[in-house]
Structure 1
Amino acid sequence: MQLPVCATALIEVVKITALPAGRGAPCPGEVVARWAGSEATDALALLGSLPGSGQHRCGFAPGWGVRAYEDSLELVLFEAAFCFNCHEVRMHGPVVPPGLATQFFDADAPEARALLDLFRASARR
């Protein structure tokens, strides 16, 4: 998966509870974790390591998302919503070029399973 180039200070993990109101709208849900420092760096590395995939059809029902913040923690640099059923991730935000807005990842790859495990473990904390 390709990530936008930006300096990320904090990542929020969101357990998505409903579909976004539209493309580019924030994902509604509960923030279950906040990662900073090495946790944020490790999470970005894991996201960047997700192998690509072809498109699958499910209607896009994301269960998890992340929000990346810059140093002042006021500006959301990007938000990404992950659907592990159709293997799609949708991103939006001021640092996301149009070519990265919709991507497909191999949800069965070890990296994707590790990401899903990390999301689930964050929700149990």
Structure 2
Amino acid sequence: MRLPTRAVAATALIEVVRMSGIPIRPGTPYVGEVVAHWAGNEAAEALALIETLPGSEQHRCGFSPGWGIRAYEDSLDLVLFEAAFCFRCHEVRMHGTVVPAELSTQFFDADAPPARTLLALFRAAAPKP
């Protein structure tokens, strides 16, 4: 999967979001509860893992993402990009100040080992009921 190169280099913090819906208007924040923060090496490793997600064919489920991330620069004022992951239809949607149009919708193999590892990280980040 391709991430915006400038954003990866500038990311200081990632919020992990347990999605509860998708935005009504394009470009508005994804809806959900922030369940964890990843900084430093943890953020860099997560982005590196996401970049290893292999491509896939599009599957149809209606795009119902369960997990997302928000990447912030050092000042924590600017959201560089958000990405919402749907592990059913294998789709990732991204938007943000540094996301070119050609990266806004991508497809990944949700059954591949990197995707299973990413899903396990997301699940481990969520508070236990």
TM-score (normalizing by structure 2): 0.94
What is the correspondence of 1:1-125 to structure 2 with a 5 Å cutoff? 1-5=1-5, 6=7, 7-124=10-127
- Larger mean CA deviation between 16-25 and 91-100 belongs to 16-25
User: How far apart, CA to CA, are the structure 2 residues paired with 1:57 and 1:22?
Assistant: 21
SS of the equivalent of 2:114 reads: helix
Aligned-CA RMSD value: 0.9
CA offsets 1:105-124 (integer angstroms, 9 cap, x no match): 00000000000000000003
What do the CA deviations read for 1:18-60 (whole angstroms, capped 9, x no partner)?
A: 2222322211111000000000000000000000001001100
- Structure 2 spans left out of the alignment, 5+ residues: none
Letter in structure 2 aligned against 1:84:
F
CA distance in 2, matches of 1:55, 1:123: 27
Report the number of matched residues. 125
